[in-house]
Chain A
């Protein structure tokens, strides 16, 4: 495998402003997830630069990146990625624990967030005792734990039916209205329509980048 060099992204250049709601679309294998991993500081570019809040991310070391992931970025995954043996509350507590937030404050924050996403009565349930939509809402609450500026969602509705998908999406829109920068990956144009900007990738290149200033939810 390592013998062939795959350029998942090549010659991409764009800027995302604070408070934007961006959808990244494109066919399978076009490099969407790769882009999101770079934006989320899970991966670093092999060539080129990535600036987040005026900071050159490729010059940061692992510890700094962990810190950025912890406080500046919230991830929402297609497969939820909740820890199965932990309750909803405990899952939301994880990023707060790594941020060394004091125990009492931690619990308060996590409970408030779960209430905010409509799971105030499901805090002590484990993921297996929750529906897909509920699990995704737990993961949104977890993404919000340290009040990050950016929410990165890779196919957040991919594992949900269209109705619960819509619920999750309107939750993300709400967060955007509260000032969060939302970057959502999807290959469903109906979902991308919720965003105010659509970046279309194809074969690792930006095919189009369009803003919909007048579009409103």
Chain B
């Protein structure tokens, strides 16, 4: 029996192809944008998490600003002892500009210690990173980011070259692999030198040091963070500012922000689904009116109320489901295009597909029930008289 309703409804839809298509346009737009936005949001989230994870989720940041700016190494030794810290590196950054053949290039000088490559998971493409001896001997050596060779040395191998910073010549001893962009800028335009050297070079200006600290295990991040904070609260003067947070806290904030943004966009897109639903209801009402005589004939031939209701309800669902499928196709095409044209990979999850199709079926049911019920309630005699 269900098959018959389906075939009747299918026939009615296909005999008005353009109308059905226009009717379901709202659903098409709604479904495709909801799927695309949800998938985009999920992919962005996954990408961000992957990037942050690759740096390490046992990482803690402690930023100390004026008037202190620096934590004395005795304090750091005590923190390292009491808070179960594996490694740490201070970092102070300053922008420096170079004018090469009339082109201005901004480079960021990062003053760090020999463990920075570990806490930031750096990989070396050539040469070596700063070591303990470099730091202690205060010899002017530098390690450069992956784009520095192109920007400052015209693409030549930077190892052994001299880089002048604030009038001091530094010998380049290593090059770091590409790290990409993050919220603090382009990590490939960094030049790493000894922290103490950096402090001396830029001492005339106020500064802020960020300590990159790794806990011994990922699980102990929170206890380490609490201990570091407790220690700093006890030693720092009350007017000094510091901020301590973990990588996983940033991850959490990013997660919440992304989810919020995604659901906001999906919410806006679902308004078009609602509008699409109202369009369906409108057309179904027109259809019922147009086919009043057909309904009368069917009733005269023995159709029950429920059978008429089901026929029109299925018709509405077919239209919206068709819209959902077209929308799904468009979303897949959109995802394919975005993935092909950018280095952003968008994947549409099966759950998203199922959700969207269930949604389009529901729209058909919700907005089709009123017209279908109206059809089923027609009096056979009246309906047969209708011209």
Residues of A whose CB lies within 8 Å of any CB of B are 37, 40, 42-43, 62-63, 66-67, 69-71, 75, 77, 81-83, 85, 94-95, 97-100, 142, 146
Contact = CB atoms under 8 A, between A and B. Distances in A.
14 contacts: A40-B300, A42-B299, A63-B305, A75-B300, A82-B297, A83-B294, A85-B15, A94-B298, A95-B302, A98-B298, A98-B301, A98-B304, A98-B307, A146-B302
Given A37-B381, A85-B15, A62 B298 contact: no
A100 B2 CA distance: 11
B338 interface: no
Contacts of B380: 42-43
Nearest to A84: B294
B386 to A, nearest CB: 11
Given A83-B294, A97-B4, A42 B307 contact: no
Contacts of B299: 42, 66, 69
For the complex of A and B, list the 9 residue pairs with the smallest distance between their C-beta atoms, beginning with the closest: A70-B302, A98-B302, A66-B304, A95-B301, A42-B380, A69-B302, A43-B381, A81-B297, A97-B4
Q: Please report whether the interface of chain B is mostly helix, strand, loop or mixed according to DSSP.
A: helix
Nearest to A38: B381
A81 B384 contact: yes
Given A37-B381, A42-B381, A43-B381, A70 B301 contact: yes
Contacts of A142: 301
Given A69-B299, A81-B297, A94-B298, A62 B305 contact: yes
Interface in B22-69: none
A190 to B, nearest CB: 27
A82 B1 CA distance: 21
Nearest to A62: B305
Interface string B292-324: 011011111111111100000000000000000
Contacts of B132: none
B11 interface: yes
Most chain-A CB neighbours within 10 Å: which of B1, B294, B302? B302
B300 A42 contact: yes
Interface in B216-271: none
Contacts of A94: 298, 301
Contacts of B305: 62-63, 66
A70 B301 CA distance: 5
Contacts of A63: 304-306
A142 B300 CA distance: 11
A67 B303 CA distance: 8
Given A66-B299, A100-B1, A85 B11 contact: yes
B293 A81 contact: yes
A81 B304 contact: no
A42 to B, nearest CB: 5
A146 B298 CA distance: 14
A168 to B, nearest CB: 19
